[in-house]
Amino acid sequence: MGDLAISLAMKEQILLVGTGVSRERGTVLFRRGDPVAGIYLIRSGTISLVLEGANHSFPTRLLGAGSVVGLPATMAGSPYSLTAEVIRDAELTFVAREVLLECLRQQPALCFEVMELLSREISGTREAVKRR
């Protein structure tokens, strides 16, 4: 599974400010092009990330417990670029974009972790595409 796991400190902060939600297999959390709402922390279950559309080489990525979904779009404030679907029933914590940004303002040390996560996302995507 993809490695977008977060630190214990970030996990604790997300659990503190987020809202717990349960989603069944087949539920789409967001689709490519949807307006950004926020991030999801996967507490259990599996989420797939796919690039919907014809003629692409982006491989499906599977994320499990401890990973965050939707971070690049949430930080950019732009529409989601991938589609996230629950493929194994999931327990999640949702954090709205505005709430996440306020947390980062109040705890600047977490900004470095966000930068690291975004860097890993970019590197992982490049490696996956290169292997295709």
Name residues whose C-beta falls within 8 Å of residue 53's C-beta, 6 or more positions apart in sequence: 32
Structure confidence at residue 63 as a pLDDT band (50, 70, 90): very high
How many angstroms separate the first and last alpha carbons of the chain?
Answer: 17
Q: What is the mean pLDDT of the chain?
A: 89
Pairwise CA distance, residues 102 & 99, whole Å: 5
- Find the helix packing angle between 97-106 and 109-131, rounded to 10°: 120
Task: Read off the pLDDT band of 1 (50, 70, 90).
Answer: very low
CA distance 54 to 2: 23
Task: Examine the pLDDT at 29 and tell me if it is beyond 90.
Answer: yes
Provide mean pLDDT across the span 114-119. 89
Taking only Cα atoms into account, the Rg of the chain, rounded to an integer number of angstroms, comes to 14
**How far is residue 128's CA from residue 56's CA, in Å, rounded to a whole number?**
12
Distance CA 44, CA 51 (A): 23
Higher-scoring residue by pLDDT: 87, 8: 87
CA distance 8 to 78: 27
Q: Tell me the average pLDDT across 34-44.
A: 97
Taken in order of first residue, the domains within the chain and their CATH numbers are: 8-131 (2.60.120.10)
Q: What is the mean pLDDT of residues 64-90?
A: 95
Lookup result for tokens 């349960």:
22
pLDDT value for 57: 60
